[in-house]
A and B are shown apart, each in its own frame.
Chain A
Amino acid sequence: NAGVMQNPRHLVRRRGQEARLRCSPMKGHSHVYWYRQLPEEGLKFMVYLQKENIIDESGMPKERFSAEFPKEGPSILRIQQVVRGDSAAYFCASVAGANTEAFFGQGTRLTVV
């Protein structure tokens, strides 16, 4: 849905660099999901955030990955010291909070070289 904005659309990083992926949810939405789509696999849940609060991060790798959703500004998914296996499409989805479907952004394609 065009209302959820992700940037950049494409991101190339060398191994060991940091990657920052941004997601601006739809207006009025205060909850954000991050998903990762690895090649040959379906979408995998990573983290569920509310503004200033991490609700569920059970899908996040324990190391190098972090996410935040500050009171002001977009949600950020940060990957430190990227490795080739981090290459994937990362999708953000926003929901109003309850009883609604998720609206997805266009995704960020991360390529680690």
Chain B
Amino acid sequence: AQTVTQSQPEMSVQEAETVTLSCTYDTSESNYYLFWYKQPPSRQMILVIRQEAYKQQNATENRFSVNFQKAAKSFSLKISDSQLGDTAMYFCAFMAMYSGGGADGLTFGKGTHLIIQP
């Protein structure tokens, strides 16, 4: 079974600052995806960024980037030039991909509540 740990229940930074959300996971699988999802007050889950485990290059999407350390099983999210609209719950998630191409369900961390202060 996979586990995902987000050790920061809540974080608060000033607008325009850079913030890093941590995520560690535990798995015996070698082929998997990692995701960061954002859940704003609207409750919708929005995919922020994803990383394939076999890719060494860290994924980047505009102001969002990850630091993927496969050996350490760490997958942190960095938000640069933070904006008020970034205020939300952020969930780290893991999905194993099996040899037959089938996907297991997502395993989520408990989430980090990020607050961007004006």
Chain A interfacial positions (CB closer than 8 Å to B): 1, 33, 35, 41-45, 48, 56, 89, 91, 93, 95, 98-107, 109
Contacts and interface: CB of A to CB of B under 8 A. Distances in A.
Interface of B: 6, 33, 35, 37, 42-47, 50, 91, 95, 97, 101-103, 105-111
B106 A42 contact: no
Given A33-B106, A42-B91, A99 B44 contact: no
A104 B42 CA distance: 13
> What does DSSP make chain A's interface, helix, strand, loop or mixed?
strand
Given A41-B110, A42-B91, A107-B45, A101 B35 contact: yes
Name, among B33, B43, B107, the residue most crowded by chain A CB atoms within 10 Å (CB to CB).
Answer: B43
Contacts, number: 55
B2 to A, nearest CB: 11
B103 A95 contact: yes
Contact of B97 (A41, A89, A99): A99
